[in-house]
Structure 1
Amino acid sequence: MDSAAIDRFEASRGRLASLAYRLLGSAADAEDAVQDTFLRWQSADRDRVEVPEAWLTRVVTHLCIDRLRSARARHERAAGDWLPEPLLEGDPMLGPADTFEQRESVSLAVLTLLERLSPVERAAYVLREAFSYPHAEIAGILDITESASQQHVHRARRRVAAERRGGGEVDPASARRVVEEFLAAATSGRTERLVALLTDDVTAVSDGAGLAKRLLRYNTRERVASYVRAGFKPTAAKRRLAGGSPALHIALLNGSPAVIAVVEGRVVGAVAFDVSDGKVASLRGIATADRLTRLNETWQQHEPDAPVISAW
């Protein structure tokens, strides 16, 4: 390829990566999809491509749909035993964040809910909500009718709205204060205060640091409080597993407040929160190493706030 063709692709790379991440929920898979798109661009008859951006969007979208439909992906994501890969605030892969719909479409909560949609419904929803494509263009990208695009987006919106926990947008400063109070209660053993900070319908899910075959799920305030208290109680075994005594930071992951455990600059775990009306509505614990790869890379490139707990 000549430099102009490469430059044209590179100008779209960030948007393609953001689209692929929203569709796949994995930064590594998104990067693979973008690289495969580059290879298609490299071998294409580019003189016949009238609108390169549209062509690239179509290719990366179909590559992502193929991945979502693959037997391996269906097995990995079966029965919801899968959590999205978290991204640190400011990561360019998070993409556009000018509107509430754009910010919500990349939240861990919505990325998890999108797993329940068909691949085409998921693609239509993301193209519309996150990138504001008109239905006529979505129809062309997905090889469906404009009416079908409208129906897919409508069904997806209805499904997300019905199952989304926490409701509308939350002020980051207020959410951080709730998480700080929550962390103080969790690490001090004040179970009563911990229960009081949870909504009546709170849920928690954890990947068990990759040690469990399935995701660990908890509901009811008492069960979630017990899980959290046990999880945040430091032990020698946990420190050995983490490779040391972690510092606990509060930061934003996919727009949500999160507690991030760091050992010598290396992220070893994260707990992301959905906050509603001053209480915690849900928690997601992620500590499997391959789900923290990109978070580790971006963490080491930014200046974190001082830890809330310097040695856990």
Structure 2
Amino acid sequence: MNDLGFEAHRPRLRAVAYRVLGSLTEADDAVQETWLRFRRADVAAVENLGAWLTTVVTRVCLDVLRTRERRGEEPYDPRIPDPIVDPASGLDPEHEAVLTDAVGLALMVVLETLTPPERVAFVLHDMFAVPFEDIAVMIERTPAATRQLASRARRRVRDQAPAPDRSIAVQRAVVDGFFAAARAGDLDALVAVLDPGVVLRSDGGAGRTGLTVTVRGAREVAGQAVMFGGFSPYARPALINGAAGVTVVRDGRPLSIMAFTVAGGRIVAIDVLADPARLG
């Protein structure tokens, strides 16, 4: 079989790998490894190439997750996964293929808290409609156990990553209101655009003590926004994982990427990547 058979499935494979790994670089590496295995395998007799490739890329991703565990890599709290950044005018076609459904950064943060089997079960079943029987083989569990893993993950996602408002225009208006209030130092106006249970997660990078934080509650988050309101003039509208957000750039140097989750006309989550090592 020629490479066209593989290329037809590449967007889906990259989408699966990004959700499972939370890293664009590692996702690309996983897809490349899947392509190498495709080239080496005798796939002429494979009845469903898409399912076969999904199985391969998932197993490659699981190997990556298990390698992280063997190395004792304890992700600092919170870890913001790699954001997908586009201009406010619209998604890049390649990015649109990866973001085939609502995969906001807040959802990706929650996925980071799941165990590898939970993450795979949830991603494959809930996002790509892979049957539990097929997932069970990949993670070496029974179908019943796989169903339980996905259910547990689903509850955590539902509780911690609410579905955003679908209208980008509505999201943008709320985010613009947030920055206007931050520039003015208007605490009450900030609280008005924030959900009472809003969570702010800021990832300043490993080893940057005090710069990696989680703040909860409208008053507390508003206080943080006022404190850093001086950076508001440097915020540039962008789409972060397909939702309204900003990049903060001063003197040509990126300072942070801010993703907002807007639900019910209020901000329920703000995820900030400020790690200099990753911003480039």
Contact 2:254 2:279 in 1 (8 A): yes
Instruction: Find the partner of 1:70 among 61, 67, 70.
Output: 67
Q: CA deviation digits over 1:32-80, x for unaligned, max 9? A: 1111112222222334544332222111101111212223687555353
Residue 35, structure 1, aligned to residue 32, structure 2: yes
Alignment counterpart, residue 152 of structure 1, candidates 137, 144, 149:
149
Alpha-carbon shift at residue 288 of structure 1 (Å): 2.1
Equivalences for 1:43-82 in 2 at 5 Å?
Answer: 43-47=40-44, 49-71=46-68, 75-78=72-75, 80-82=77-79
Q: What is the Cα deviation at residue 228 of structure 1? A: 1.5
Q: Does 1:216 align with 2:213?
A: yes
Structure-2-length-normalised TM-score: 0.84
Once the two structures are TM-superposed, the CA of residue 17 in structure 1 deviates from its matched residue by: 0.7
Task: Tell me the CA shift for residue 190 of structure 1.
Answer: 2.0
| In structure 1, distance between residues paired with 2:49 and 2:251 | 44
1:218/1:75 Cα in 2 relative to 1: closer, same or farther (>3 Å)?
farther
Query: Counterpart amino acid of 1:249?
Result: R
Structure 1 range deviating more: 42-51 or 198-207: 42-51
Structure-2 residue corresponding to 1:177: 173
Query: Paired residue for 1:127?
Result: 124
Amino acid at match of 1:222: R
Counterpart of 2:266 in structure 1 is 279
Q: Given the alignment of the two structures, is residue 188 of structure 1 paired with residue 184 of structure 2, yes or no?
A: yes
In percent, how many aligned pairs have the same letter?
36
Structure 1 residue runs of 4 or more that deviate by more than 6 Å after TM superposition: none
Q: For 1:177-209, what per-residue CA distance to the aligned partner results, in whole angstroms no more than 9, with x for missing partners?
A: 111111111122223322332222222111236
- The DSSP-based 3-state class of the residue aligned with 2:239 is strand
Instruction: For structure 1, list consecutive stretches of 5 or more residues without a partner in the other structure.
Output: 236-245, 294-312
The whole-number CA distance in structure 1 between the counterparts of 2:195 and 2:263 is 8
Q: Distance in 2 between matches of 1:116 and 1:74?
A: 17
Number of the residue aligned with 1:251: 238
User: Aligned-pair distance for 1:16?
Assistant: 0.7
CA contact (8 A) 1:96 1:130 kept: no
Contact 2:165/2:265, CA 8 A, preserved across alignment: no
How far apart in 2 are the matches of 1:156 and 1:95? Answer: 24
More displaced 10-residue stretch of structure 1: 210-219 or 279-288: 210-219
Extract unaligned runs of 5+ from structure 2. none
1-side partners of 2:123 and 2:143: how far apart? 16
Instruction: Provide the residue aligned with 2:17 in structure 1.
Output: 20
Query: How many residue pairs end up in the alignment?
Result: 274
Contact 1:170 1:275 in 2 (8 A): no
Matched, 1:198 2:191: no
Does residue 1:10 correspond to 2:3, yes or no? Answer: no
CA distance in 1, matches of 2:56, 2:134: 14
Shift of the 265–44 alpha-carbon distance from structure 1 to 2, 3 Å rule, reads: farther
The change in CA–CA distance for 1:271 and 1:97 in structure 2 (over 3 A counts) is closer
Equivalent pair of 2:76/2:206 in contact (CA under 8 Å)? no
Q: Name 2:225's counterpart in structure 1.
A: 228
Q: Cα deviations across residues 80-125 of structure 1 (Å, max 9, x unaligned)?
A: 3311111135243454767xxx31xx22111111122221111111
Is 2:80–2:272's contact at 8 Å kept on the other side of the alignment? no
**CA 1:153–1:72 in 2, change beyond 3 Å: closer, same or farther?**
closer
Residue 207 of structure 1: aligned partner = 203
